[in-house]
Amino acid sequence: MPPTRRPLITVALLGTPSASAATLYGFFDLLSGTRRDWQMLHGGADTESPFRPLVVSRDGRPFAAGNGVRITPDAAFGDCPHPDIACVTDLMVPPGEELGTLFEPEVQWLLGAWHAGATLCSSCSGALLLARTGLLDGEEATSHWAYCDLLARRYPGTRWNAERTLVVAGKDQRLMMAGSGAAWHMLALALIARFASPEEAMQVARVNLLGGTGEVSAIAYSSLTRGRRAEDPIVAQCQVWAASNYRVEAPVSHLVTLSGLAERTFKRRFTQATGMSPLEYVHTLRLEEAKQLLESTGLPVEAIALEVGYQDASFFNRLFRRKVALTPAGYRRRFGTLRSQLRQVAGG
């Protein structure tokens, strides 16, 4: 009997003539690329995202976004009555502009989604609409710094925090808000962490170089493991063994024995099939495991070196820095903090 297919998580991204196409479709791309892009880059089977992002609008008709890009919605409100997540990506309106009843259908739709159990989100100036629902009364909230003073005057019952990148609030933590500018990236990662997993959110961050501050080489985000399993059956068998046994001493000698080939022949075939020498391949497996341990545990660097197969911690430090472009401690500060934030948002 085939396994039961889990239903996709429907994310309704609110499309209005005041939306920015870059942010609207930025959310769309990150959510639709979850799981799929990581598998593609690592030679895995075609895998669909656990999310189904949809651009929705009051009538479903094409319109020009606030920056002039033509948007064709996927659905009208009536065609997407019960999303799991509803998100106001942003509003390109000047601070202080009176909106009147311009967005009343959108506000009512958000309230309907909330009462049906959806998580409501806003990024940047999108909080202008989320605040109009009344759901932020008595709650912490954030928005773009240029709007927070205005919002504080209009909605004094809400505690506005212009300095915060991400705020999670409300009943069952079902209100999620991102602050200024590119903070929407953190909201997208938080949604992936909560509704898929923190691990998959970290994969999205690494594929798209998201979630950090300061200038860091793209290599620090990369996965060192490249490509799919080799077509050469002997090399593929050795890859399977190495995935579970890379910690052993003299792993290349074990691989040569397992292959049944002469050492020079094995090394040539392995390099031809994978693009890496056997020793380089083992190093990549060890360093990827070290990265996971640095992100998810508080183990000392020396203990992590031993855990992944290096008796000499100083050699591990030098190799890690050369391959990852950060020291192990620097990697932990950058990515361990991000993983911790995502686990907290996910409730784990």
Q: For 36-77, what is each residue's pLDDT tens digit? A: 998 888 777 788 999 999 999 999 999 999 888 999 999 999
Q: For 219-264, what is each residue's pLDDT tens digit? A: 555 565 555 677 889 998 999 899 889 999 999 999 999 999 999 9
How many angstroms separate the CA atoms of 273 and 284, rounded?
A: 16
Give start and end residues of each alpha helix (H) in 197-299: 198-208, 233-245, 251-259, 263-274, 278-296
How many angstroms separate the CA atoms of 149 and 155, rounded?
A: 10
Q: For the chain, how are helix, strand and coil distributed in percent, rounded to 5?
A: 50, 10, 40
Token pair for 142 = 């954030």
Question: Does the fold of domain 233-342 match that of domain 9-211?
Answer: no
Please give the CATH architecture assigned to the domain spanning 9-211: 3-Layer(aba) Sandwich (3.40)
* Mean of the per-residue pLDDT values of the chain: 89
Domain coordinates in residue numbering, the chain:
9-211, 233-342
> For residue 223, what pLDDT is reported?
60
The CATH topology of domain 233-342 is: Arc Repressor Mutant, subunit A (1.10.10)
> For residue 154, what pLDDT is reported?
93
State the greatest distance between any 2 C-alpha atoms of the chain, in Å, as a whole number: 79
> For residue 306, what pLDDT is reported?
95
**Could you tell me if residue 193 is left (phi over 0), alpha (psi between -120 and 50 degrees) or otherwise beta?**
alpha
